[in-house]
Structure 1
Amino acid sequence: MKIPPGVRNADLWRKHCRRIRARALDLLEGRLGVIETARLMLPLAYWTKVQNEPEFLLFRAIASETDDLPVGDVRAHWAADALEREDVRIEAAEKLWREQALSAAEKLVERYQWTIARRHSSPDEE
């Protein structure tokens, strides 16, 4: 994969590319949910300049549609009764988006496979 124009720090770009693959694997292997994965993918897509690729447009849609739901660390700041109510909405959203998100994650794991295979290659080779 070629480093996009405008990227000034190739090492940081590669690090963010590795994180894209890692978050996609986290979703596929059940360590993260759909909503949390979508939220984590947004800054990575921006930093790697791939935010307009279809998989990241999907994750942006998921994050946008679920931005009011308490997912991840913010749950610690919510009351138990509110969490119980919102968990019904979270479960519905996770179910609604799961198939599409898993498909996108599979594509990203494959597309970013180079990040583990060629971790120390020069930017000109990517």
Structure 2
Amino acid sequence: MKIPEGIRNEALWRKRCRKIHARAKDLLEGRLGIVETARAIRLLAIWTRVESEPEFQLFGAIDRETRYLPVGAVRAYWMPEALAREDVFIGAAENLWRDRAIAAAETLVERYEWALKRMVTNG
């Protein structure tokens, strides 16, 4: 994969590309939900300058539609009754976006597989 224009720190860019692969794989293997994955991937897309690609646009749309929902670490600060109420909305959002998010994650895992390989340097 070619480094996008404007990226000045190649090592950091590669690290974030590995994180894209990892978060997509986390979704596919059930370690993260769709909403939480969308939040992580949206930020990684911005940092790696690929936010205009269709898979990243999808995760951006999911994040915009679900931004108000408590997922991840923030859940520790919510009352159990409020979480139970919001979990209904989280479940509905996950069901709505599931097929498209899974397809996008599969594409990203394949596209970013290269990032897991060690760089070989001459010299």
TM-score, normalised to structure 1's length?
A: 0.93
Alignment-derived partner of residue 79 in structure 2:
79
Displacement, 1:95? 0.7
TM-score, normalised to structure 2's length?
A: 0.95
Aligned residues: 121
Moved over 2 A (4+): none
Alpha-carbon distance in 2 for matches of 1:61, 1:42: 9
Alignment-derived partner of residue 11 in structure 1:
11
Displacement, 1:59? 0.3
Displacement, 1:121? 3.7
Gaps of 5+ in 2: none
Gaps of 5+ in 1: none
Alignment-derived partner of residue 119 in structure 2:
120
After TM superposition, the structure 1 = structure 2 runs for residues 41-56 of structure 1, keeping only pairs within 5 Å, are 41-56=41-56
Alignment-derived partner of residue 36 in structure 2:
36
Alpha-carbon distance in 2 for matches of 1:121, 1:95: 42
Alpha-carbon distance in 2 for matches of 1:101, 1:29: 13
Which secondary structure state, in structure 2, belongs to the residue aligned with residue 43 of structure 1? helix
After TM superposition, the structure 1 = structure 2 runs for residues 19-30 of structure 1, keeping only pairs within 5 Å, are 19-30=19-30
CA RMSD of aligned residues (A): 0.9
- Identical-pair percentage: 63
Residue 66 of structure 2 is aligned to residue 66 of structure 1 = yes
